[in-house]
Structures are given as C-alpha cells and as structure tokens.
Amino acid sequence: MNRTLSYKALILLIILAIIGSCSADKNEINIYSGRHYQADEQLYREFTHQTGIRVNLIKADTDQLINRMELEGSNSPADLFITADAGRMIQAMEKGLLQPMNMEKIAKLVPSPLRDSENHWIGFTKRARVIVYEKSRVNPEELSTYEELTSDNWEGRILIRSSQNHYNQTLMASIVATHGREGAAKWANGIVNNMAQPPRGNDRDQVKAIAAGTGDVAIVNTYYIGLLLNSPNAEERNIAQRIGIFFPNQQNRGTHINISAIGITAYAPNAENAQKLIEFLLSESSQSTLAEKNYEYPANQHVELPDLLKEWGHFKADTTPLDQLGKHLQQGMIIFNQAGWN
C-alpha cells in the first residue's frame, strides 16, 4: 500500500515538475503578425538582445490569425497581435480578442487619432493612401481629391486594387464616415466607371501598370513607392522614377491615413513582456528603423522623418480617429459589392 502511494506520489511530482517547467519560462513573447517585413524581424532581434526576452513569431494572413485566435480561445499562446491595417485590428477587438494596455508612456508618443479610445490597440507605423501618377502624362495640377477622381476627366485612367484589399476597405470606411452611405456609393460607382482595368494585383502592381501605359493614376500607400525606389531590381527603380506622388484632399479633411496596429491579446500568457515590446517598437530608435528601412511614417510624433519621406513633402493628414471607422466597414463592403467593385 505504501509502495503504491509512493509510486503515485512520485508520478504526481513528475507531472507537477513538467507543468512547472512549461510555465516557469516566462522569458519569451509570442507574436501573431500580419506584417511581413524584414525591418520588423530586425527589431525583434534587437529587442531580444537588449532584454533577453525571446521572440516567437508566427506570420500569416490577418484574417487567418483572427480565426486562429478565436479557435484557440483562452488556450491561445499569442501575446501580441499585429496587423497591417486598422480595420482588422478593430475587428479583433470587437471579437473580444484584445485586452487594454498600459498607456502611461504610449499616450505621450502617439496622437489620439492613431489609438483606440479604450486602449485596446495602438498604431506603430502610418501609411498615407495617396494618388500616384505618370509624370509625363499627368499634370499634378489636374489632381485634387479622392472624390474628383470620379469626374469624366479620369475615365479609363484609374488603377486600384480589389475591394477585398484591407487598405481599400478602410479607405472606403473613411469615405462613408465623411459622405454617408449615398455619397460613398456615388464615389464607388464613379471609381468603377473610370477604372482602366478590373482590379488586380497589389499596390506595387498598380504602379507597374501605370508605367506600362494601362492607366495614368492609381491609389496606393506611400511606402510602396519607397520600396520600388530602393528595389534591388533596376527596372523597378526606373519605374518608380517616372511616378509622382500627390497627397489628396489638402483643402478639406486631408489625406487618408492607415496604420499598422498592435494589441495585447485577451489571454496573453506574457502580457508584461508584450507591453515591453510595444514600448520598444514605439521608441525613437525603432521608429527611425521602420521609417528608414520600410518607408513608413513614424507613429511616434517626436521622430524625425528620413530624407526620402521629407522629399515627398509635408501634408495635411485626415485626423478622423481610426477607431471610429470600424462601424463603417460592413457598410463599405456592401457599397463595394453594389458598385461591382470586385
């Protein structure tokens, strides 16, 4: 009997030791990221070097990551969720997949339009969604607003991505927020009528289609132009040299801004480490790295822009709080579908 008890006690001790060894290692952080940039991974390595905290990274499509976290529930190992778009972060929050973070340090760095009013997420890079054009075929004085692209002057000349693209969905949400359902529907129909071809490819492909003469203008994120200008491919660099950047809506609400966003997951096993990494990514050094290597605008308002972004010039940004756009995302998708914007 005693031997049996001793055997059971030994087994119990072994099990507890195994559990303890699994839970004792808190010197790590698990990231689910929809971003796929070498600059990010460089910063994760630097974070580990400075803190000793190991970074475990899983990269995938953002919608897939949201579905995964829903399926994992309270057993999810994810500590941080990162998206390349505000809209998907808002959806994750609405599904209860995020928890509030400590904003004591962060709020001093990032302006309120770029963060959730309930502290569930924050932007750590900015992207301006601009109009780009072929310099020899378009006079920038012809350009003014997103809305003006629906005029007859641009018939058969506009290139833009699919309505399934997250950047376009958030842009549409901003149009709905500004003009209401009817105004947004008018805009979507006008853009579809003026498309040079059915939507295909990514932002980089829209720029290449301009160079090929398929269309004259496109709506893209600024950082794609930076990537093309600094591409190892000479042809891509030559294409980018032919393209001008125009910041629309400077006389009214300003150019639409999207963000890469980051939030601590609802069941984060390493929430303290997650907070440390967020603050690290918002530091002046990290923000400068992202701006210099990925050509994104810093979310930290105290960081100086690199030379290329300075060359693009100062512009007025739309300051509509991004956390208010979530309520317009579904309506925007309906408008896309009704307009035949595939």
pLDDT-derived band at 16, boundaries 50, 70, 90:
very low
Q: Is the per-residue pLDDT at 13 higher than 50?
A: no
- In the block, tokens 């400077």 appear at 250
| The pLDDT of residue 291 | 97
- In the block, tokens 């994810």 appear at 78
Instruction: Break the chain into its structural domains and give their ranges.
Output: 13-125+259-305, 127-256+323-339
Q: Tokens for 108, please give them.
A: 């001093």
Q: Is the per-residue pLDDT at 196 higher than 90?
A: yes
Q: Which homologous superfamily does the CATH classification assign to the domain defined by 13-125+259-305?
A: Periplasmic binding protein-like II (3.40.190.10)
Nearest CA to 323 out of 32, 121, 102 is that of 121
Identity of the residue numbered 319 = T
Report the alpha-carbon distance of residue 162 to residue 200 in Å, rounded.
6
Query: Per residue in 100-159, pLDDT tens?
Result: 999 999 999 999 999 999 999 999 999 999 999 999 999 999 999 999 999 999 999 999
All residues at 6 or more sequence positions from 103 whose CB lies less than 8 Å from its CB, including other chains: 115, 119, 122
3.30.365.10, 3.90.550.10, 3.10.20.740, 3.40.190.10: which CATH number matches 127-256+323-339?
3.40.190.10
